[in-house]
Amino acid sequence: MTPEQWLARLVQIPSVTPLHAGPRAGQAGEGRIAAQLAQWFGELGAEVILEDAHPNRPNVYAIWRNPASERWIALDCHTDTVGVEQMPGDPFSGETRDGRVWGRGSVDDKASLAVALSVLQAMRAAGAQPAANLIVAAVADEEVALGGAFVFDAWLRQRKMRLDELVVAEPTLCAPCYGHMGSARIDFRVQGVSTHTSQPHLGKNAIVGAARIVLAMQAEHERLQTLAATPVGRGQLSAIQVGGGRAPNIVPDLATLGFNRRVTSDEDEQAVMAGLAQLGKAAAGLPTEAEIFRPMSAFLQDPNSAMVRQFSAWAGRAPVTVPYCSDASAYRSDTVKNILVMGPGSIDQAHGAEEWVEISELERMAGVFRRWWRG
């Protein structure tokens, strides 16, 4: 089957991450698509291993061994998608129209999976096998926490395996990406004292404390924009959530808010987040707790590495950096020697009310995979 035919089948299997699931999401999570991929990969001659990233949300590792090679290469594709509630029509149609495949996950991130299935199917039909030992890792929970990639990284480490090359599939218009920012989240819980709104001086307004934190964080974001740009850009700091207040006549005694920090390749994400926690607590002027979620480091590969140059030549696209974060942040040097982010389509078409990928992009990526896997 062609890549677009495989992609239509993949899009038609809902796999919305549970955190984003609404009434239109169908069966949330990656369980159904993982079971189907395990069957398809098995039919293509792979050794198939399922490992839970979370309960009932498995990773699928499809392994093609080549005893004649000592090299190990891998493709990381995530199987979860964002929500579909804002999408018109059938979000899982997989329709092919105007030279594009439409539907949730068509570009982020089922496109590369479809290309892999098509290329591997054609190789099997021709009696060929990958020139190196190959793992296609279809991983869960990328959209929220890179959970599946961290589990796959641990799986490699437990087996004392080190990949020679890893491609993390994300939409880059088939350009090899050698760097991107990391991402981290911090939440604050501001504690005030409630009172009647007719006597606000008797209480301590938690929302006012939260507002002070917002202003301090905005000032920090503006400071970051004055710094010299790194290879992946400048740090970013955004308010993403806020909550507080119980009734119109009660001064609120609790306010909560959250921030996302994009971390550059020149920064230590742990130190950055510890500094933000101190900044927020000092600004609030009220008792404040901070919770830092697992930070994801920036990813930066040598743009002149042999892998980047080879994939650039195969794709006919110059190397790039991108502003978003990917599974590449989950892998460490003891499990992967060389890594890049690459895939068909544009990030501009991801996560929106309409999602699609150009068939020509699928065909370009298929050409890259053929060259990579045939050696």
Tens digit of each residue's pLDDT (9 = 90 or more) over 105-138: 999 999 999 999 999 999 999 999 999 999 999 9
With beta carbons less than 8 A apart as the criterion, state whether 188 and 288 touch: yes
Task: State residue 30's pLDDT score.
Answer: 96
Q: Which positions ≥6 away from 189 have C-beta within 8 Å?
A: 254, 255, 256, 288, 289, 290, 291
CA nearest 148: which of 56, 29, 58?
58
pLDDT tens digits along 63-99: 999 999 999 999 999 999 999 999 999 999 999 999 9
> How far, in Å, CA of 153 to CA of 335, rounded?
7
Q: How far is CA 357 from CA 96, 134, 235, in A?
A: 10, 26, 29
> How far, in Å, CA of 30 to CA of 59, rounded?
8
* C-alpha dihedral sign at 341, 182, 258, 59: positive
**Which position has the token pair 């299935």?**
117
Kindly state the average pLDDT of the residues 145-157.
96
Topology classification of domain 182-292 = Alpha-Beta Plaits (3.30.70)
Kindly state the average pLDDT of the residues 225-232.
96
Q: How far is CA 282 from CA 4, 203, 220, 278, 279, in A?
A: 54, 19, 13, 6, 5
Task: State residue 89's pLDDT score.
Answer: 93
Is the pLDDT assigned to residue 12 strictly greater than 90? yes
Is the pLDDT assigned to residue 351 strictly greater than 90? yes
Q: Which amino acid, residue 55?
A: P
Task: State residue 323's pLDDT score.
Answer: 85
* C-alpha dihedral sign at 124, 36, 101, 181: negative
Task: State residue 150's pLDDT score.
Answer: 96
Task: State residue 127's pLDDT score.
Answer: 96
Task: State residue 375's pLDDT score.
Answer: 79
pLDDT tens digits along 244-262: 999 999 999 999 999 999 9
Q: For the chain, what is the mean pLDDT?
A: 97
Is the pLDDT assigned to residue 294 strictly greater than 90? no
**Where residue 173 falls among pLDDT bands split at 50, 70, 90?**
very high
CATH of domain 3-180+298-374: 3.40.630.10
Task: State residue 163's pLDDT score.
Answer: 98
> How far, in Å, CA of 131 to CA of 156, rounded?
20
The domain locations on the chain are: 3-180+298-374, 182-292
With beta carbons less than 8 A apart as the criterion, state whether 129 and 123 touch: yes
**Where residue 372 falls among pLDDT bands split at 50, 70, 90?**
very high
Task: State residue 336's pLDDT score.
Answer: 97
Task: State residue 207's pLDDT score.
Answer: 98
CA nearest 170: which of 143, 198, 193, 147?
143
